[in-house]
Amino acid sequence: MDIASLVGLIMGTLFVFYGSFSATQYQFGPFFQLFINQPASIAITIGGTLASTMLHYPMPQVMSIIPIMKNVFSTSAETPNAAIETLVSLAEKARREGLLSLESDVDAQENKFLKKGIQLVIDGTDPELVREIMEIELEYLEERHKVGVGLFEAIGFYAPAFGLIGTLVGLIGMLRTLGGDISLMGPNMATALVTTLYGATIANFITLPIAGKLKVRSGEELQLKQVMIQGIICIQEGNNPRIVRQKLMSFLSPKMRESMEVEEGKAA
């Protein structure tokens, strides 16, 4: 579970609720009537946003919203540090016993990407072809991630737009009451303002932050797989395990590199 995402969601919900509740002098009845019981605003903002999203993306991609959101609140057990240790260990074994000795290690790998790369090496595939195959898979993985990010960015774009449409609808209704039944002015103004509130909240509190977190998750996964590609090529070339470690650590941030060096010092 990603604590930052969970805490952010709870804090944002509490702050928005508190601010809205305080605007009605902490009375639930007026709060419900002003901010919740607005079917016209909900229909325009949520219904319109959903309709535009379905026009923008094929249905299978729209239906993938919930599975994609799981990535926001989950953290991967795999880290570049752990991958480097695994690859260095494989490099030591391959250098000592030969590439074919890695056959027994293939099934032990939980990561399918790493497992595929090791199998290609054992099968005697040309190093350039190994790199090409794995980089193609990496490229398509990145494209799939972009689709998920784009989906939430599209919702974040459409929601405020439909909030504006709802505002215009409410203002038109309000203007029609001028010189007539003035009691209709309040509901129309509420529709105008609450619809904008809904659109801004959906975009800036939900969808755009989710898109941002998905970009972070994508970057982490791509970095991990780049480490694996380089490590697999190093193993196939028969590089010294110390050289393999140094090459792979160049993918890490200075802080992560320093942490690994400290751990190595303790192990030594």
- Per residue of the chain (268 residues), what is the pLDDT tens digit? 778 888 898 998 898 888 888 877 778 887 787 788 888 888 999 999 999 999 999 998 998 888 888 888 877 778 888 889 899 999 999 888 888 888 888 888 888 999 999 999 998 889 899 999 999 999 999 999 999 999 999 999 999 999 999 888 888 877 777 766 666 677 777 778 888 999 999 999 999 999 999 999 899 889 999 999 999 999 998 889 889 888 888 888 787 777 776 666 655 5
Tokens linked to 68: 């994609």
pLDDT at residue 266, rounded to an integer: 58
pLDDT tens column, 122-149: 988 898 999 999 999 999 999 999 999 9
Contacts of 147 (CB under 8 A, 6+ apart): 61
Contact 235, 244 (CB under 8 A): yes
Tokens linked to 224: 């991990």
pLDDT tens column, 228-267: 999 999 999 888 988 988 888 888 878 777 777 666 665 5
pLDDT at residue 193, rounded to an integer: 85
Domains of the chain by residue range: 1-37, 38-268
pTM of the predicted model as reported, rounded to 2 decimal places: 0.83
Contact 39, 191 (CB under 8 A): no
pLDDT at residue 2, rounded to an integer: 78
Contact 241, 95 (CB under 8 A): yes
The amino acid at 89 = S
Query: How far from each other are the two terminal CA atoms of the chain, in whole angstroms?
Result: 33
Contact 1, 194 (CB under 8 A): no
Q: Among all chains, which residue has been given the structure tokens 């110390």?
A: 242
Q: Among all chains, which residue has been given the structure tokens 């509190």?
A: 205
Alpha helices in the chain (DSSP H): 3-23, 28-31, 39-42, 48-56, 59-63, 65-73, 80-97, 103-106, 112-122, 127-177, 185-201, 208-237, 241-249, 254-267
Tokens linked to 155: 């919702």
